[in-house]
Structure 1
Amino acid sequence: MKGWLPRIKLNTIHTKLLATYLMLTAFGTSLMAGYILWSFYDYFMRSRQADLDNWTSALSESVADALEEKDIQRVKVLVKRYGAPQSVTLRVFGQQGSLIATSDPKLDSQVKDWQQVPGMREALTNHTQQGIAKGVLSNEDRLYIARPIARKGQLLGVIRMSMTLEQFQRQFAKVIWSILGTLAVTILLCALISSRFARSLSKPIEIMRNFAIRLGSGHFGDKLTIHENNELDQLAAELNRMSERLASLDQERRVFLANVSHELRTPISNVQVTVDALKGGAYEELDLRDRFFQTIENETKRLSQLIHDLLDLGRLEAGVAELEKQAISLHGLINRAVNAVEPRMRSVRISTQVNVDNLIILGDPERLLQAILNLLDNAIKHSPANSQVVISGYSQGKQAVIQIQDQGKGINENDLPRIFEQFYTTDPSRKGSSNGLGLAIAKRIIEAHQGSIIASSSPKQGATFTVYLPLKDK
C-alpha cells in the first residue's frame, strides 16, 4: 500500500475519478442497503404489530364471552391453545389487574406486581397500549399489546399478548453484517481497478446511481443495462433481480389490499343499503323486513367468515398456529369430513364415492379436517347436480395420498398455477360464495404437516386435488 499511495497522488485526474467512483458507489449501495434494511425492519415490525392487534381483537371476543359467564376454565383453555411459551406469551387479567390465565405459568408465578408491566396501567383504564418493551423478568426485547376487554361499556378484564424479537434481531444482525461485508468488498474491488478504466467507469456509475435512486423512490420493475464485461455486469444483474422482486412484492401487496377491500366492501355495502332501506320505511312491511333482516344476517356471517379465514391464514403463515400432532386414521378422518358435508351434498343432489385404505398418518386432526373440508367445499361448489365426488386414499412409499375428484367443468389451464393463491378465484366477477381463501388455507395446513398438494384438470372432466402427507413411522 505504501508504494501505491504516491502513484495516486501524482495521478490526480485518475485519483479524482477513482475517488468519485468510490464515493458514488459507496453512497449508492449504502443508500439502497439502508432503504432495504429500514423497509424490511419497518415492514416486519408493522406486520407483527398488526398480527398482535388482530389476534387479540379476535381472542378478546371469545374471552369476553367466557368472562361474562364466569367460565374461568374456558379462558384458561383459550390461553393455552393460542399461547406459545417459547415465542408468543398470552395472558388474561381481571378487572383489578389480577392474573387469571397465562400461557407461561412458571415465569408468571414470580411476578408480584402486574401494574408495573408495560401497557397494563393503560389497559386497565380502558386504553389499548402496544409497543416494544423488555420481557417480564427478562432483558429480551418483546413486541406487546395490552387490550382492554369490555362489553356494554363495562371493563371485564385485560388481554396481553407479547412476541419475542430475539430470533428476528439475530437474523437482522446477520443481514447487517452481510451487507456491511458486501459494501466493504465492493469498495475494495473498486479501489483496485486500474486507473486506465477509471474514466470509462464514470458513466456506468452514474447510470447505477440513478437506477438506485429510482428504486429507492419506488420505481420498481425498471431494468438496468450495462455492458462492461466486469463486476458491474454482476451488480447490474443483482439490481435487476432486486428491482423485479420489489416490483413483484409491490404488485402482490396492491393486489392483496385490493382483494381485501373488495371482499370487505361488498358485505358492508349490502348491510348499509339494507339498513337504509329499513330506515326508509321497509321495516313496516313484515315480509320485506324479514327478508332484509335475513340479508343482514347472511352478510354479517360472510364478513365474520372472511375475517376468521384471514386470521387463520395469518397464523398459519406466521407459524404461530401450534399443531397438536397425534396418530390419525386416514379412513376415520375422511369419514368425518364426508359426514360433515353430507346434508349439504344431499340438498344439491351430489353423491360421494369413498375408497380409502386403512392408513395411519401423524398430524393435527382438526387442522387436517379443516383442509379436507375446504377441498370438499371446493368440489361441491364446482359439481353439477346428479354428479359424484370421488375420494380415494392409498399409500405411495412413505406417503399417504388423498385424491378428491369432482365431475365439474374443470379448471382452466391458465388458472391452475394460481389456484392456491390468496383471494384467487376462477370466477372473475366474484359472484360466488367463495372468498378465495379456502384452498390457500388448505395448502398452508398441508405444508405445515410437511406435505404437499397439487391440482390437475382435464377439459370437461372435472378437477382432481391430490394431497401427499407423511405416513406415521411404524
Structure 2
Amino acid sequence: MGYLYVGAILLADTHTSSSKVRSLAALAILVTILNLIIPGIHPITIADIINRLVAAIALAVTIWLLEANRDYQQTVATQEYKLQSQLKMADLKEDFAATLTHDLRTPLLGAVETIKAFQSEKFGQITTAQRRVLSIMMTSHQTTIELVQTLSDVYKHDVEGLSLQTEVIDLVTVAEQAILELNQLASNRQITLHLGYSNSDFRQACWVNGDRVQLYRVFLNLILNAINHSLRGGKIEIIFAPHGSDRMVEVRDTGQGIKLEELPLLFDRFYQANSDRHTKGSGLGLYLSRQIIEAHQGKIWAETRSPQGAIFKFTLPAHFPTIR
C-alpha cells in the first residue's frame, strides 16, 4: 500500500505548501512501517521488512525530488523575472536616451544658428571683444552637440549594431584631416601634434577597407583624449606602422600616464578613471572608438608609456587598392 501514497503526495504537492507535503510524506512513511505489525494477522517475514523499507525509501526519494523540482521551478521563475526586468530597463534606457538627445539637440541647434546670425552681424555691428565671446560660445555649443550625438550613437549601436559604409581608404589622409581640425585646440594648450611613420621619415600610405567617417571619429576621439590629458608644452605623436598582415596606429602622449589596473577598463562605457586621465569628457569617446574598431574586425588597446605618458593603439586589416 505504501506505493499508493505517492499519488496522494503528488496531488498534494500541486495544491498545498511544501511543509504540509513533507508532513504528509512523513505520515505515509510511518504508516508504511507500522503496517508490518498492524493489524498483526500474518507473521512478519524478511520479504515483508524489505518491501516496507523499499516503499519507505521510495516515499522519501519522492519527497526529495518534489522539493528539488520546487526549488528548480522557483529559480527558473526568478531568472525569468530578472530577465524581463532587464529587458524593460533596456527599453527604458533606450527611450530615455532617444528623448534626451532629441530634447537637447533641438535648443542647441537653435542657439548655434542664433550665434551665427550675430557673427554675421545680422543684428548690427559687433566689436572684437564680442566676436571673441561669440566664438567661445559657438565652440562650447558645438562641443555639446558632438557629445549629444556621441551619446545617441552609443545607444543606437548597442541596440542596432554599427552599420559601416566601407571603401578602400588611406588612413593617413583621415588622420591628417583630424589633426587639421584639432590643431588649433592643441596650439592653444601649447601642445604639438606630429604625424610620423615607424620606418621612414617620408609620407607613406596606409590602406584599409573601412568607413571613412567612423574612422575619422576614432582619430578625433583618441587625439582629443591625448590633448585633454597632456601637459602644456607636450607632444602628441600619431604613428603609423606595419603589424604583420595588419596596419597599426599609435597615438602617444606625454601626460600623467595610466595606472595598470585601469588599462582593462578604459574602453568601458562611462568609465571615469581615478587618476588625472579622463577627468574631462563623458567617458564615451573611447567606448565608441572600441565599437568602431571592432566593427572593422580590428583591435584597440592602451599601454602606459615610460617614463611618462600613455599610448593608445589600434590595428586594422590591411587592404590594398586595386590597380587598374
Answer yes or no: same fold by TM over 0.5: yes
Name the structure 2 match of 1:348.
Answer: 189
Q: Is the 8 A contact 2:105 2:148 kept in 1?
A: no
The one of 177, 180, 191 equivalent to 1:339 is: 180
> Does the Cα contact within 8 Å between 2:301 and 2:313 map onto a contact in 1?
yes
- 1:296/1:430 CA distance change after superposition, 3 Å: farther
User: Aligned partner of 2:297: which letter?
Assistant: Q
- Residue in structure 2 matched with residue 417 of structure 1 by the alignment: 264
Structure 1 residue 384, shift from structure 2 partner: 1.8
What's 1:35 paired with? 81
Structure 1 pair 62/319, CA: closer, same or farther in 2 (3 Å)? farther
Q: 1:317 aligns with which of 148, 152, 158?
A: 158
Contact 1:409 1:459 in 2 (8 A): no
Q: Which residue number in structure 1 is paired with residue 167 of structure 2?
A: 326
Structure holding more strand per residue: 1
Q: 2:281 aligns with which of 418, 434, 444?
A: 434
Q: Judging changes above 3 Å, is the alpha-carbon distance between structure 1 residues 472 and 409 closer, same or farther for their aligned structure 2 residues?
A: same
Structure index of larger Rg: 2
Deviation at 1:389, TM superposition (A): 1.2
The one-letter code matched in structure 2 to 1:38 is Q
Aligned CA-pair RMSD: 3.9
Distance, in Å, in 2 between the alignment partners of 1:60 and 1:421 is 28
- In the alignment, what sits opposite 2:37? none
Query: Does 1:363 find its partner at 2:204?
Result: no
1: distance between equivalents of 2:195 and 2:134?
40
TM-aligned CA deviation for residue 325 of structure 1 = 0.7
Q: 1:25 aligns with which of 38, 50, 71?
A: 71
Tell me how far 1:370 sits from its aligned partner.
0.7
Any idea what SS the aligned residue of 1:322 has? coil
Whole-Å separation in 2 of the counterparts to 1:23 and 1:408: 59
The size of the alignment, in residue pairs, is 248
Q: Distance in 1 between matches of 2:78 and 2:142?
A: 46
Structure 1 gap segments, 5+ residues each? 65-289
**TM-score, normalised via structure 1 length:** 0.45
Q: Could you give the per-residue CA deviations for residues 251-300 of structure 1, whole angstroms, max 9, x where no partner exists?
A: xxxxxxxxxxxxxxxxxxxxxxxxxxxxxxxxxxxxxxx99999988876
Distance 1:390 1:420 in 2: 20
Identity of aligned residues (%): 22
5+ residue gaps, structure 2, are 8-54, 111-130, 198-203
1:378 aligned to 225, 230, 248, which one? 225
**In 2, distance between residues paired with 1:387 and 1:397?**
31
Structure 1 residue 450 displacement after superposition: 1.3
Amino acid at match of 1:464: I
Structure 1's 19 and 415: CA in aligned 2 closer, same or farther, altered over 3 A? closer
With over 3 angstroms needed to count, the CA separation of the structure-2 counterparts of 1:431 and 1:419, relative to structure 1, is closer
Q: Does structure 1 retain, via aligned residues, the 8 Å contact 2:258–2:275? A: no
- Which residue, 138, 144, 147 being the options, matches 1:306? 147
User: Of the two structures, which has the highest relative contact order with CA contacts closer than 8 Å and spacing of 6 or more?
Assistant: 2
Give TM-score, length-normalised by structure 2. Answer: 0.63
